[in-house]
Chains A and B, each alone.
Chain A
């Protein structure tokens, strides 16, 4: 009863709008999941039905796995995303910490360059990067897929900001006085303190890498090495007769890891996104 008394028209409108937004955000996922059990003529029809005609049998998933190396594609995405995440986190820590806590000759230049790489987008280097990797024999390889994203300016900035704000110099000085090497300090003191930021960065990097589309599209011609995004594009090729149930099944499979990560670590991802926006710095 108390809640009803507080229902003003404004509040109703507000909540209804927000709930509409939630619905709109979620509806395509529901459509995707239901669609992975349907035939083409159930999905594309002037008289749509909500539930699949033949129930929730997994035949589309079975057909998919039989006709396309989707599980291999998932594995590829996993390897590439994990490698990228580890690399980005590691190097962001090294470089971000260096920029936050040390005043070394050349620091200014490094900062300027990093900001420049943040601002200069990738399209000018896309074609030359392709040619370079082709000439180095790195196409169609895990290394070739991971290398262009191995270090992230965004990650460096994130770590730098966090390190500046959250690591007291006294902590570092104390460890130095005890004779610890710089690397030891980084490993045993700084990294643990930074772990919330590092975890957020890792999560965001993993998801971004999982969804990466453009570079894997041109860097890989061997379908055994396709990542899941590229596999989806090939499956949904509009120049052939596409079985949309099968494509949606692949889409569902590809989205599961992201949904799991999102469900478990929602808060941390949100924090990383906001922190990375840089605000006034």
Chain B
């Protein structure tokens, strides 16, 4: 009895291990004939994958595209922001021919390019058509593998009514920022929010907005003195009580904003859109009294602003419908109607009023941007477009190390804010930990 069971077990075990090995060997190289990038029909089904927010926004804007191309039908797959890289990896590693089109962020593009999953779009993307520095993340060995979607420069938005009442101008330098923070603090208000346990983005904003960086364009770890100065400034602000104890964009943060305690924010401009949905129109949050401005220069060598992160439209190298996918991607990233549509999005639960990266679209947007109610009718995207067109903005280098690097920073920072470590020592630790990645 037991011997037949064990024999069965052996057979089963060997069968599964064979299956496992053959699956692990996988299918390397192209499977079958791949579709043409240009010259095919703009028809059939286009499958678009990405993070829920961006895909939902694109879904809204794609309505215009589908009107022009009635033979196209769309399929969407939306994932939580933290999950979509994994889901895409699982799908693409099996050489599936869907999705056709994907929206991905600069964090992951490198690994996707290296794995050979993305179509070469060099013939379709000209660097000069886009804001400087926006295609760095999707370029490899002189080839371009993605089209820049939204651009996300840093900005400073604040409650005009409060600033007027207290006689503070919008800050343009670090000194003015600190002075403003002090006045606000005296009135019981906060110029921004910081949670010491989740402080990486705050630190990186200060770093980039003062002209420093984490990695340089070759991927070499930078940090150094600019990082120490930035961290010192952040620590001083925290110590002086200028910063409300909450993580920006968290629910705690919005409760505080809605009770009128948070009256300004220095961050990536995509976050300004969140005010639209999260601010209570009937509350004390100053709905309609906010103003969007360009960020202060936190040091003398600071750029006018910098591009915080980028999202790209990429095409699956194994897709069977590349022409249609490319056409849609170009529409979403460059068509003026699309740019306006993105700006117009004002629906419950969709907080993406993004700015394009394509220069042509930006020029159009200066005229045709939407008025944002929560900003008292200001055409925020026009302000952003003007910045991107007339100034040189910095950009952030990202690769596969970036997520782990930012995790490492997050584990080191709390000790700085509790006073246990000095900024210099902390930056030293960061340099060691990230250098070891």
Interface of A with B (CB < 8 Å)? 39-42, 44-47, 53, 59, 63, 67, 105-106, 109, 131-132, 134-136, 221-223, 233-234, 237, 239-241, 243-244, 246
Contacts and interface: CB of A to CB of B under 8 A. Distances in A.
B79 A234 contact: yes
B418 interface: no
Given A40-B278, A135-B23, A243 B254 contact: no
Contact of A106 (B1, B19, B258, B348): B1
A222 B77 contact: yes
B77 A223 contact: yes
Interface in B68-86: 77-83
Given A67-B349, A237-B52, A237-B82, A243 B255 contact: no
B53 interface: yes
B20 A41 contact: no
Given A239-B81, A241-B351, A105 B1 contact: yes
B254 A46 contact: no
7 interchain residue pairs of minimum CB distance: A237-B80, A41-B280, A243-B349, A239-B81, A135-B23, A221-B87, A106-B1
A240 to B, nearest CB: 5
A67 B16 contact: no
B349 A46 contact: no
9 contacts: A41-B285, A46-B259, A63-B349, A109-B1, A135-B23, A223-B79, A234-B83, A240-B52, A240-B81
B274 A241 contact: yes
A59 B282 CA distance: 19
Size category of the B interface is 35 or more
A280 B199 CA distance: 54
Contacts of B283: 41, 45
B258 A223 contact: no
A135 B94 CA distance: 11
Contacts of A47: 259
Nearest to A104: B1
Contacts of B1: 105-106, 109
A279 to B, nearest CB: 31
Contact of B279 (A41, A67, A234): A41
Interface of B: 1-2, 16, 19-20, 23, 51-53, 56, 77-83, 87, 90-91, 249, 251-252, 254-255, 258-259, 274, 277-280, 282-283, 285, 348-349, 351
Contact of B251 (A40, A59, A233): A40
A109 B254 contact: no
Contacts of B56: 67
B51 to A, nearest CB: 8
Contacts of B349: 63, 67, 241, 243, 246
A239 B82 contact: yes
A237 B280 CA distance: 22
A44 B23 CA distance: 49
Nearest to B350: A67
Contacts of B255: 41, 44-46
Contacts of A241: 53, 249, 274, 277-278, 349, 351
Contacts of B83: 234, 237
A128 to B, nearest CB: 10
A161 B344 CA distance: 65
Most buried by B among A41, A46, A47, A106: A41
Given A42-B280, A131-B20, A240-B51, 8 more contacts: A39-B280, A41-B280, A44-B255, A135-B23, A136-B19, A234-B79, A240-B80, A246-B348
B251 A44 contact: yes
A218 B81 CA distance: 16
A241 B83 CA distance: 15
A59 B347 CA distance: 12
A158 to B, nearest CB: 25
A232 B354 CA distance: 27
B277 A135 contact: no
B23 A41 contact: no
A44 B253 CA distance: 10
Contact of A41 (B77, B79, B254, B348): B254
B248 to A, nearest CB: 12
A135 B21 CA distance: 9
Contacts of B252: 44
